[in-house]
Amino acid sequence: MHAPSPMALLLIAIVVLVLFGRGKVSSLMGEVGKGITAFKKGVKDGAEEEKAEAKELELNSTDDIAKARAELAAERAKLDADRARMSADAGLRDVTPADQNKL
């Protein structure tokens, strides 16, 4: 398929301007430019976030490994405490009588 000639492009541009007006076409092109800029910024931010996450995951020394283990132990202790609190709360909420002697 061949590219349209410069005369055909000029004719298309004139038809678009006549149909939509200069203001509408100008605002549309401005919006397209803003969209492209936002897309490029998003791609750049995403790449920076990936680098930051990769840097966080690197465990190069024994100090980093020990720190990660301590954080995991603290998280496990917190979860165990939450589980114990929830089971205690469930026991307190049960207000049904435990009588075995019903009439």
Distance CA 18, CA 47 (A): 43
Least confident of 79-83, 87-91, 98-102: 98-102
Structure confidence at residue 35 (pLDDT): 92
Distance CA 52, CA 46 (A): 10
Structure confidence at residue 11 (pLDDT): 92
**Residues 44, 38: contact at Cβ < 8 Å?**
no
How confident is the model over 64-93, as a mean pLDDT? 86
Domain boundaries, the chain: 11-58, 59-91
How confident is the model over 83-90, as a mean pLDDT? 84
Residue 100: is its pLDDT beyond 80?
no
Structure confidence at residue 40 (pLDDT): 92
**Residues 59, 65: contact at Cβ < 8 Å?**
yes
pLDDT tens column, 1-53: 678 888 999 998 888 888 888 788 888 888 989 999 999 998 898 888 888 77
Residue 64: is its pLDDT beyond 80?
no
